[in-house]
Chains A and B, each alone.
Chain A
Amino acid sequence: MPVRKDIKKVLVIGSGPIIIGQAAEFDYAGTQALKALKEENLEVVLVNSNPATIMTDKFMADQIYIEPLTKDSIKKIIELEKPDSLLSIIGGQTGLNLAMGLYEDGFLKKHNIKLLGADINTIKKAEDRNLFKQTMKKIGQPVIESKTANTLKEAEEVLNSIKLPVVVRPAFTLGGTGGGIATTKEEFLNIVKNGLLYSPISQVLIEKSVAGWKEIEFEVVKDSASNTITICSMENVDPIGVHTGDSIVVAPALTLSDKELQMLRTASIKIVKELNVNGGCNCQFALNPNSFEYAVIEVNPRVSRSSALASKATGYPIAKVATKVAIGFHLNEIINQITKKTYACFEPSLDYIVLKFPKWPFDKFSYANRNLGPQMKATGEVMSIATNFEQALMKAIRGAEINQETLTLKEFENLKDEEILKGLEKVTDKRIFLVFEAIKKGVPIKTIENLTKIDSFFLSKLKNLAEMEKILTSEKTNKNSTFLDEELYVKAKKMGFLNKTIENLTGKKIKNKLNANFKMVDTCAAEFLSSTPYFYSTYDEENEALSLDENLKESKKVLVLGSGPIRIGQGIEFDYCCVHCIWALKKLNFKAIICNNNPETVSTDFDIGDKLYFEPVQFEDVEEIIKTEKPMGVIIQFGGQTAIKLGLQLKKANIPILGTSFESVDVAEDRKKFDALLEKFSIPRPKGYSVFSVDEAITAANNLKYPVLLRPSYVLGGQNMVIAYGDEDVYEYMKIITKNKLENPVLIDKYLTGIEAEVDAICDGKNCLIPGIMEHIERAGVHSGDSISVYPSQNLSEEIVSKIVKYTKTIASALNVVGLLNIQFVIHENEVFIIEANPRSSRTVPFMSKVTNIPMVELATRVIFGEKIKDLNYGEGLIKNNNYVAVKVPVFSFEKLNNVDVHLGPEMKSTGEVLGVSNNFSDALFKGLLAAGYNMNYENKKGVLITVRDKDKPEIVPIAKNLKNLGFKIYATKGTANFLNKNMVSCTEVLKAHESEKSRLNLIKKIEVDLLISTSYKTKVQNKQKHLI
Chain B
Amino acid sequence: MFTNSKKSATLILSDGTKFKGETLGKKGTTIGEIVFTTSMTGYLETLTDPSYYGQIVMQTFPLIGNYGVNFSDAEGEKPKLFGYIVKDCCKTPSNFRSKESLEEWLTKNNIIAIKGIDTRKLTKIIRENGVLNGAITTEEIENEEEFLKKIRNFKIKDAIKNCSTKETKILTGNEEKTNVICLIDFGVKKNIVTNLKKRAKKVVLMPHNTTKKEIEEINPDGIVLSNGPGDPAENIEIIENLKEIVSLKIPIFGVCLGHQLLAIANGAKTEKLKYGHRGANQPVLDVFLNKILITSQNHGFYVLNNSVNEKIAKISHINLNDGSCEGLKYLNIPAFTVQFHPEAAAGPLDSNFLFDEFFNVIEKYKINKLI
Contacts and interface: CB of A to CB of B under 8 A. Distances in A.
A463 B345 CA distance: 32
B312 interface: no
A978 interface: no
Given A345-B292, A351-B119, A525-B61, A332 B127 contact: no
Interface string A247-275: 00000101111110110011001000000
Interface stretch (B204-212, B279-287, B330-338): B279-287
Contacts of A332: 283, 285, 292, 320
A168 to B, nearest CB: 30
Given A388-B88, A457-B90, A519-B120, A351 B61 contact: yes
By secondary structure, the B interface counts as loop
B66 A254 contact: yes
A542 B279 CA distance: 23
Contact of A257 (B97, B121, B350): B97
A74 B149 CA distance: 74
Interface residues of A, number: 54
A226 B93 contact: no
Given A456-B94, A540-B121, A257 B70 contact: yes
Highest count of chain A CB atoms <10 Å: which of B39, B40, B347, B350: B40
Interface string B23-67: 000000000000010111110010000000000000011110011
By secondary structure, the A interface counts as loop
A262 B42 CA distance: 10
B13 to A, nearest CB: 14
A528 B127 contact: yes
Nearest to B352: A266
A388 B45 contact: no
B320 A258 contact: no
A387 B280 CA distance: 20
A123 B167 CA distance: 58
A774 B87 CA distance: 56
B288 interface: no
Interface in B77-114: 87-88, 90-97
Given A349-B40, A352-B62, A388-B62, A460 B320 contact: no
Highest count of chain B CB atoms <10 Å: which of A266, A331, A347: A347
B294 interface: yes
B120 A527 contact: no
B129 interface: no
A814 B344 CA distance: 70
Highest count of chain A CB atoms <10 Å: which of B66, B88, B290: B66
Interface in B252-292: 279-283, 285, 290-292
B304 interface: no
A388 B19 CA distance: 19
B282 A255 contact: no
B92 A526 contact: no
A291 interface: yes
B348 A262 contact: yes
B194 to A, nearest CB: 12
Given A258-B45, A351-B119, A527 B127 contact: yes
B290 to A, nearest CB: 7
B362 interface: no
Highest count of chain A CB atoms <10 Å: which of B93, B280, B292, B347: B292
B73 A541 contact: no
Contacts of A388: 62-63, 87-88
Contact of B87 (A256, A348, A387, A455): A387
A255 B41 contact: no
B118 interface: yes
B344 A262 contact: yes
Contact of B38 (A262, A456, A525): A525
B56 to A, nearest CB: 17
A296 interface: no
Interface in A385-410: 387-389
B70 to A, nearest CB: 7
A289 interface: yes
A460 B96 contact: no
A805 interface: no
Nearest to B350: A269
Contact of B283 (A266, A345, A352, A455): A345
Given A291-B96, A342-B321, A346-B283, A258 B345 contact: yes
Contacts of A387: 62, 87-88
Given A262-B348, A456-B94, A457-B92, A225 B120 contact: no
B346 interface: yes
B123 interface: yes
B215 interface: no
A229 B45 CA distance: 22
Contacts of B95: 255-257
B354 interface: no
Contact of B294 (A229, A259, A527): A229
A524 interface: yes
A290 B95 CA distance: 8
A602 interface: no
A20 to B, nearest CB: 32
A227 interface: yes
B349 interface: yes
Contacts of A225: 290-291
A445 B91 CA distance: 14
A723 to B, nearest CB: 51
Contacts of B41: 252, 256-258, 261
A17 to B, nearest CB: 38
Interface in B218-245: none
Interface of B: 19, 36, 38-42, 45, 60-63, 66-67, 70, 73, 87-88, 90-97, 117-121, 123-124, 127, 279-283, 285, 290-292, 294, 320-321, 344-350
6 contacts: A262-B346, A353-B63, A388-B63, A457-B90, A526-B127, A528-B321
Interface of A: 225-227, 229-230, 252, 254-259, 261-262, 265-266, 269, 289-291, 331-332, 341-343, 345-353, 387-389, 445, 455-457, 460, 463, 519, 524-529, 540-542, 544
- Across the A-B interface, the 8 shortest Cβ-Cβ residue pairs: A258-B42, A460-B92, A525-B60, A258-B346, A457-B94, A347-B281, A541-B118, A349-B38
Given A255-B94, A351-B38, 17 more contacts: A225-B291, A252-B40, A256-B95, A257-B95, A258-B39, A342-B321, A347-B281, A348-B281, A350-B40, A350-B61, A387-B87, A388-B62, A388-B87, A457-B93, A525-B120, A525-B279, A527-B38
